[in-house]
A and B are shown apart, each in its own frame.
Chain A
Amino acid sequence: MDDHIRSTVRRSLQLRHVDCGSCNGCESELALVFSPRYDGQRHGIDMVASPRHADAITVSGPVTVQMQAALARTYDAMGQPRGVIALGDCAIDGHVHASGYASGTGVQSQLPVDLKIPGCPPPPDAILRALTSFMGR
């Protein structure tokens, strides 16, 4: 299934974003992917307003305890094939917020991850490069 999602998003990649305890840095950089300098839409990449319309979810943050259920329900609401993108160091392994009673160690402790975009936060050009390369471009 992991390979399958890549083969279905060659021309367009529709994303839904789930913040799971981010400091908002990853959100800020992801938002700038769709600003004039980077213009993600010209690559067929865009954000959609429902997980049912999404090819993949971008997840930021270490996955806090409070967000575990919401993340699972967002994933369950997606059609198949579906992809999971860990956006930023927190989503990859929890980074500096990995410890504690309320925090987590990243997305892969809960969902299969198809793409990791490292950085704290990853700048828009790195996000765009990772997404287009995921699309096989």
Chain B
Amino acid sequence: MTRLTRVRDASPSRRPQALRALAAQGDAYAMGLCQRSGRGIELVDLFYRPGSPLAPHAVRTAVPPECTEVPSAVAALPRVHWDEREIRDLFGLSFAGHPDDRRLLLPDPRRTAIFSPRPVPPWHPRVLKQRDAVHVPVGPVHAGIIESGQFHFSIMGETVLQMDARLFWNHRGIEAALEGLGVDEAVTRVERICASCTVSHQAALAMAVESLAGLRPPARTEAVRLVLLELERLASHLNDLAQLAAGAALQVLLMQGMALRERLLAVQHRHFGHRYLFGTIRPAVPAPTFDAAGLAADLGPLLEEAAAWMERLFAHQGFRDRLTGVGRLSPEQVTALGGVGPAARATGIAADLRRDLPYGFYPGLVSEPAVRTAGDAMARAEVRQLEVLESWRLVREVLAELDSLPDRASAVDAEPLDGAATGYSESPRGASFHYVRMRAGRITRYHVRSASFANWPLVMVASADNPIGDFPLINKSFELCYACCDR
């Protein structure tokens, strides 16, 4: 159960210390958010303890209405840097001592913060002004079929000295739009935050709402959710690897990868009615029925071919040469910035919510996370290759026992939902957290800290000291969602 019960209060001046103390005792930071509370607002910083079955716990900081500035916690816990900037844009609350006073979410100064009229300075790119350094802006509209984002490179010769990104072009204000809605209306919006990670968002929403309702889904429903989450990882990782082949100019391997992805999407459509698995996980609703043996039979030859395709890709010396040593990150950089998922595991950090905060049908089934230590584009690719094989093992094992698992409709609590809870899942790109606060069955605050939001700062760090021509490859080696990040 992830209903928020372990909440400790801190004053604005004590918040940095409180966050530092929790991090020092080994608790992991999940996300920071702000919400209205009484006449004022409050900051909520959520943590979890890896390896513990305890629900995420929180530090709550009440900010009275007359207060417009609180001390930043960035010096105490660097990974809160984007969370605080987002809060500043949305609520107009300043964080004293934050190293970056630029807007993040709403770069256009004509847009006032939605929850508060307090002004925030406009966004501007950070560009190195030194002699011979050239500023190369790229985007937000790109040459290929990709999402919108803008990159500002400061280069000298071919070398990127510094990269700054302006994201949030796809910011749709989904969190604010969810306020006032009931769960059923929220589901269709939450699952459309991002098509690549939709199952992880659906699962996190379901976990949060079911915690508030005090019910645990039947075993078969939990098992089907695992299958759906792992299918999403398969589709995502196969696509990411195909895109890396494209980044290394290997057209045949790209097209073979795209063909595999197309076949997987078609199988998903055949068995679950949607190519991207929209509408497959509903809070407190039993999982869809489907032919488990038929799905396993469809996936078997497909995954066999995928494994052979990955063998060919990773055996290609040109592919290895192209990725090795490119966009290298250290585990210290990843830890400081709060990186998650394959990007973190590629630097030797064995973090994976499926094991660290076991949920749903995962306990007892997952093995040790796939880890590489080089921290470069090659390591990120290799982690994905290993995870494809592991996801297929999980799917195969669960499908084999699915029909023997009990499934009955859970008794839905007649009481309207009240309170705050979190939901989470290990999305294809890493740990993804949702927070929901409800009053009388209506959402009063919703917040999503996606894996992409956590990892975008890593891309900027990893791009420095590499040739600008390698940026597309570095970017693809993270393959982050803009939609997930921007919301």
Binding site for B on A (CB under 8 A): 16-25, 27-32, 35-37, 47, 49-51, 61-62, 64-67, 70, 74, 95-97, 99-103, 120-121, 123-124
A66 and B171 form a contact (CB under 8 A): yes
How far does the alpha carbon of A95 sit from the alpha carbon of B147 in the complex, in Å? 18
A23 to chain B, nearest CB (A): 5
A67 to chain B, nearest CB (A): 5
**Contacts across chains A and B counted by CB atoms under 8 Å:** 133
B305 to chain A, nearest CB (A): 13
The B interface is mostly helix, strand or loop, or mixed, namely loop
B148 and A25 form a contact (CB under 8 A): no
Interface size class of B (residues with CB under 8 A): 35 or more
B258 to chain A, nearest CB (A): 4
Per a CB cutoff under 8 Å, which of A16, A23, A32, A100 touches B262?
A: A32
B147 and A24 form a contact (CB under 8 A): yes
Residue on A nearest B176 in the bound complex, by CB: A100
Q: Which of B64-72, B78-86, B103-111 contacts A (4 or more CB under 8 A)?
A: B103-111
A96 and B189 form a contact (CB under 8 A): yes
A97 and B174 form a contact (CB under 8 A): yes
Decide: A64 near B169, CB < 8 A? Known: A28-B196, A97-B177, A100-B176: yes
Contacts of B177 in A (CB 8 A): 97, 99-100, 103
Most-contacted residue by chain B among A47, A61, A74 (CB, 10 A): A61
Interface string of B17-35 (1 = CB under 8 A from A): 0000000000000000000
Residue on B nearest A71 in the bound complex, by CB: B141
Q: List 5 A-B contacts (CB under 8 A).
A: A19-B147, A23-B194, A66-B108, A66-B170, A97-B174
Per a CB cutoff under 8 Å, which of A16, A20, A37, A99 touches B148?
A: A20
Residues in B139-157 with C-beta less than 8 Å from chain A: 140-141, 143-148
How far does the alpha carbon of A80 sit from the alpha carbon of B18 in the complex, in Å? 61
Binding site for A on B (CB under 8 A): 106-108, 111, 114, 140-141, 143-148, 168-174, 176-177, 188-189, 192-196, 198, 239, 255-256, 258-259, 261-262, 265, 269, 275-276, 278, 481-483, 486
B227 to chain A, nearest CB (A): 21
How far does the alpha carbon of A55 sit from the alpha carbon of B111 in the complex, in Å? 33
A113 to chain B, nearest CB (A): 18
Contacts of B258 in A (CB 8 A): 31-32, 35-36
A19 and B148 form a contact (CB under 8 A): yes
A61 and B173 form a contact (CB under 8 A): no
Residue on B nearest A98 in the bound complex, by CB: B177
Contacts of A74 in B (CB 8 A): 141
B172 and A100 form a contact (CB under 8 A): yes
B238 to chain A, nearest CB (A): 12
* For the complex of A and B, 7 pairs with smallest distance between CB atoms: A25-B195, A49-B143, A102-B173, A35-B258, A100-B173, A100-B177, A103-B172
Per a CB cutoff under 8 Å, which of A47, A67, A121 touches B276?
A: A121
